[in-house]
Amino acid sequence: MIDTYLVPDKTTVSVKGDGPSLDVSGAPNRIFLLTLNITDVIEQESLDLAIYGSTDGATWTPKSISSFPQKFYRGPHPLLLDLTGQPTIKFLRAHWEVNRWGRGALEPMFQFNVQIKEVPPEVLKEAAQEAQSRL
């Protein structure tokens, strides 16, 4: 069961970059909960964070396989990542871009992490049953 960081805790960035690759090939369930936790920011800046996949950990998809909406503020931001339709994806990596505008220093600064947790099949089954009962 995968329960780790896709981007390490207390990562501080001021330019675009990439996180380390994470091997998810051993995950029996291919649905993950990603949580972007922004812990520190300065005013008038944005963070764009996307997830890329790879079959070998070296060559990455040309386009992101998922992304968080653009963020400006502290807090936790969840995202469900379903890889069941992409069985060849064995590695994941986060890519971020930052932007700053307005007055003051022009260099952006974000401190954040991205947690990744494999969603247990029981939870998915329970959610599907609840969704069916609401139809």
H helices of 1-135, in order, are 121-133
- Given a contact cutoff of 8 angstroms between Cβ atoms, the answer to whether 67 and 6 are in contact is no
Note down the domain range covering 15.
Answer: 3-125
**Residue 131 is assigned to a structural domain of this protein:** no
pLDDT over threshold 90, residue 129: no
pTM for this one? 0.90
Domain count, the chain: 1
pLDDT over threshold 90, residue 134: no
**Residue 132 is assigned to a structural domain of this protein:** no
- Compute the average pLDDT of residues 7-32: 96
**Residue 7 is assigned to a structural domain of this protein:** yes
**Residue 71 is assigned to a structural domain of this protein:** yes
**Residue 35 is assigned to a structural domain of this protein:** yes
- Given a contact cutoff of 8 angstroms between Cβ atoms, the answer to whether 36 and 77 are in contact is yes
120 to 52, 81, 114, 123: CA distances (angstroms): 22, 13, 19, 5
**Residue 134 is assigned to a structural domain of this protein:** no
**Residue 23 is assigned to a structural domain of this protein:** yes
CATH number, domain of 29, equals 2.60.120.660
Percent over 70 (pLDDT), the chain: 100
Confidence (pLDDT) at 118: 95
pLDDT over threshold 80, residue 56: yes
**Residue 62 is assigned to a structural domain of this protein:** yes
Q: What is the pLDDT of residues 74-122, one digit of tens each?
A: 999 999 999 999 999 999 999 999 999 977 778 899 999 999 999 998 8
